[in-house]
Amino acid sequence: MSQQKKPLKNRVYNEFVMESSRWDNFKPRQDDIIIATPAKCGTTWTQMICALLIFQKTEFEKPLTQCSPWVDVLTTSADKVLNQLEQQTHRRFIKTHTPLDGLEYNEQIKYICVGRDPRDAFLSLKNHVENMRPEALETLQKHATGEWHPPKPPLNDLCEWFRRWIGSSCSEEPGHEFHTDVLYYVNSFWQFRELPNILMLHYSDLKADLEGEMKRIAAFLQIDVADELWPDLVVAATFDNMKSKADQLAPQVGDGIWKDPGQFFNKGESGQWRSILGDKELSLYRQVMSEKVEPELASWLENGRLGS
The secondary structure element, H or E, covering residue 203 is: helix 203-208
Cα atoms found within 13 Å of the Cα of residue 46, Cβ hemisphere only? 31
Query: Does 301 score more than 80 pLDDT?
Result: yes
Q: Is 3 part of a structural domain of the chain?
A: no
Position 6 in a domain: no
Assign residue 133 the CATH number of its domain. 3.40.50.300
Residue 8 lies in a domain: no
State the pTM of this model: 0.92
- State the residue range of the domain holding 218: 14-307
Judged against a pLDDT cut of 50, whether residue 51 lies above it is answered with: yes
> What domain count does the chain have?
1
Asked if residue 2 is part of any domain, the answer here is no
> Is 222 contained in some domain?
yes
The residues carrying an active-site annotation are 97
Q: Looking at the domain assignment, is residue 266 inside a domain?
A: yes
Rounded-to-integer distance, Cα 7 and Cα 104, Å: 8
**CA pair distance 177, 168, nearest whole angstrom:** 9
pLDDT in tens, 77-89: 999 999 999 999 9
Confidence of residue 137 (pLDDT cuts 50, 70, 90): confident
Task: Note the pLDDT of residue 259.
Answer: 62
pLDDT, mean of residues 265-292? 87
Residue 9 resides in a domain: no
Q: What is the pLDDT of residues 201-228, one digit of tens each?
A: 999 999 999 999 999 999 999 999 999 9
pLDDT for 180-193, tens place per residue?
Answer: 999 999 999 999 99
